[in-house]
Amino acid sequence: MIAPRILLIIGGGIAAYKACELVRLIRKGGGSVRCVLTEGAQHFVTPMSLAALSEQEVHTSLWDLKNETEMGHIQLSREADLVVVCPATADLMAKMAAGMADDLATTLLLATDKPVLAVPAMNVRMWLHAATQRNVARLRDDGVTVLDPDDGAMACGEFGPGRLPEPPFIWAEIEKLLDKPRSAPAAGIKGGALAGRHVLVTAGPTHEAIDPVRYIANRSSGKQGYAIAEALAALGARVTLVSGPVSLATPAGVHRVDVESAREMAAAVEAALPADVAVMVAAVADWRADTSAGQKIKKDGSGAPPTLSLAENPDILAGLAASPRRPRLLIGFAAETEKVVDHAIAKRARKDADWIVANDVSGDVMGGDSNSVHIVSRDGVESWENLAKAEVATRLAARIADAFS
Ligand code: CTP
């Protein structure tokens, strides 16, 4: 791993003293760290201690970035590999969730294009408050990695979740986050190769309700789509991930929009436009129940099953291809169980996609961690060996960056 550069934003809570230990661990681990203190943080730790530990200038105010041409707040927020907010107080997270920028810390957090890790610490009641939980959920949806606080006795005398995790644990989480995006760019592709591009990714299945408890769906874990969203974000793209129901964490730096049905997915895709690139990885259900029953359908005792009448769902990929707001590069996926390449060639032409990534799903690809794909474009077919889904994602992201270079 190349020496990581951390921008550490320290919030105003008693746990701020542990940030000093974290600075020490980052330095020990080979990283460099630049500290920013909120006004509240300065009541708990001093800029002097942090400057000594980090051996870097410490910033406390928007207005002490005296020379904007030398070190403006935008630059400060961009020259890091990862922004860590520790401790992330209830107030700081509320401001982050609301997109406020009324001091240096919040301005940097709004201006950054780098992954953000928030490490909460606060009183147990504050942590459990609906407002804080709402803000945490919003931040996670926005792509911020928010750690769960530890359980235990608190400085205020209460007991429960809200304690700052121990610094060695935080450092391990930092290493994990740095490892993924930093290993993503393929040979020859620079980290910021997709900076300034908006990429739309669909992933996961859709659920088409039959009644309140039953649905129709395709098999899909969402793993490949999420890995692609992550790899694209690692190349600096602004990524909107429209996701069907999956149990996966939002990749760092990715904006996730959750949907259930194909029609909701189509609307979310439309709302996310314009985009430079769209990668449609979702396994959209081709059909939905014609009418969804308002109440659970009951067996009538006759032994005869109910008749399910189906209606065809909109084809989101084909709709996007025909739209006046068609992304410059439109990529579809094709999950096939036989004649993989032949079907994919026909599908690319039929749906008017630029590329189709075809995979053979006759084995146990669904939910697995590897994939054998063929990239079908107007120029021909490129077959890749069986690769981990993360590696397929990295290569595909690099190929996309290449198409834009
Ligand atoms: N797709 C979509 N909307 C749909 C169905 C599929 O956007 N209603 C997209 C998928 O996200 C994928 C591509 O189209 O990128 C191929 O999906 P697939 O289900 O394999 O194609 P089908 O249209 O079902 O074609 P076929 O019935 O021939 O398999």
- What is the set of domains in the chain, with CATH numbers? 5-177 (3.40.50.1950), 198-404 (3.40.50.10300)
- Rounded to an integer, what distance in angstroms lies between the CA atom of residue 286 and that of residue 343? 17
| Three state DSSP letters for 139-178 | HHHCCCEECCCEEEECCCCCEEEEECCCHHHHHHHHHHHH
- Using a 6 Å CB cutoff, which residues line ligand 1? 202, 262, 280, 282, 284, 286, 313, 315-317, 332-335, 347
Q: Cis omega (within 30 of 0) on the bond before 87?
A: yes
Distance from the alpha carbon of residue 200 to the mean position of ligand 1, in angstroms:
16
Q: Distance from the CA of 402 to the center of ligand 1, in angstroms?
A: 26
Give the tokens for residue 214. 């039953």
Between the CA of 315 and the centroid of ligand 1 the distance, in Å, is 7
DSSP assignment letter at 384: P
Mutate to test the pocket of ligand 1, among 315, 337, 359 (most ligand atoms within 8 A of CB): 315
User: Which atom belonging to ligand 1 lies closest to the Cα atom of 319?
Assistant: 7
Distance CA 83, CA 4 (A): 11
Query: Number of helices (H) and strands (E), helices first, in the chain?
Result: 14, 21
Q: 209 CA distance to ligand 1 centroid (A)?
A: 19
The Cα–Cα gap between 404 and 69 comes to 30
Q: What is the pLDDT of residue 226?
A: 96
From the CA of 314, give the closest atom in ligand 1. Answer: 8
Please tell me the distance from the alpha carbon of residue 276 to that of residue 326, in angstroms, as a whole number.
9
Question: What was the pLDDT predicted at 183?
Answer: 40
Of the CA atoms within 13 Å of residue 214, those in its CB half-sphere come to 13
Q: How many CB atoms lie within 10 A of CB 183?
A: 13
Q: Whose CA is nearest to atom 9 of ligand 1?
A: 317
Helix ranges restricted to H, 59-203: 68-71, 73-78, 90-98, 104-111, 124-128, 130-141, 167-183
Question: ∠ CA 150-78-34 to the nearest 5 degrees?
Answer: 55
The pLDDT value recorded for residue 2 is 58
Decide: residue 68, CB within 10 A, 0-12 exposed, 13-18 middle, 19+ buried: exposed
Name residues whose C-beta falls within 8 Å of residue 96's C-beta, 6 or more positions apart in sequence.
85, 88, 106, 109, 118, 135, 139, 144
What's the sign of the alpha-carbon dihedral 167, 168, 170, 174?
positive
Nearest residue (CA) to ligand 1, atom 20: 334
Cα–Cα distance for residue pair 306/225, rounded to 1 Å: 35
pLDDT of residue 181: 45
Radius of gyration of the chain (CA): 24
DSSP class of residue 249 equals: P
Cis amide prior to 274 (ω within 30 degrees): yes
Q: What is the pLDDT of residue 189?
A: 57
Render each residue's pLDDT in the chain as its tens digit; 405 residues: 457 899 999 999 999 999 999 999 999 988 999 999 999 999 999 999 999 999 999 999 888 765 555 457 777 888 899 999 999 999 999 999 999 999 999 999 999 988 999 999 999 999 999 999 999 999 998 999 999 998 877 777 788 889 999 898 899 899 888 875 444 455 555 567 898 899 999 999 999 999 999 999 999 999 999 999 999 998 888 899 999 999 998 888 788 899 999 999 999 999 999 999 999 999 999 999 998 888 999 998 999 998 999 999 999 999 999 999 999 999 999 999 899 999 999 999 999 999 999 998 877 666 678 888 999 999 999 999 989 999 999 999 999 999 988
Give residue 182's pLDDT.
Answer: 42
Q: Considering the candidates 20, 35, 86, 156, report the single residue annotated as catalytic.
A: 156
Residue 220, burial from CB neighbour count under 10 angstroms (0-12, 13-18, 19+): buried
Helix axis angle, 223-234 relative to 389-404, nearest 10°? 40
DSSP 269-316: HHHH---SEEEE--B--SEEESS--SSPPPP-SSSPPPP--EEEPP-H
To the query of whether residue 86 is one of the catalytic residues in this protein, the response is: no
Token pair 């121990």 in the structure block, residue: 166
Handedness of CA 368, 240, 228, 185 (dihedral sign): negative
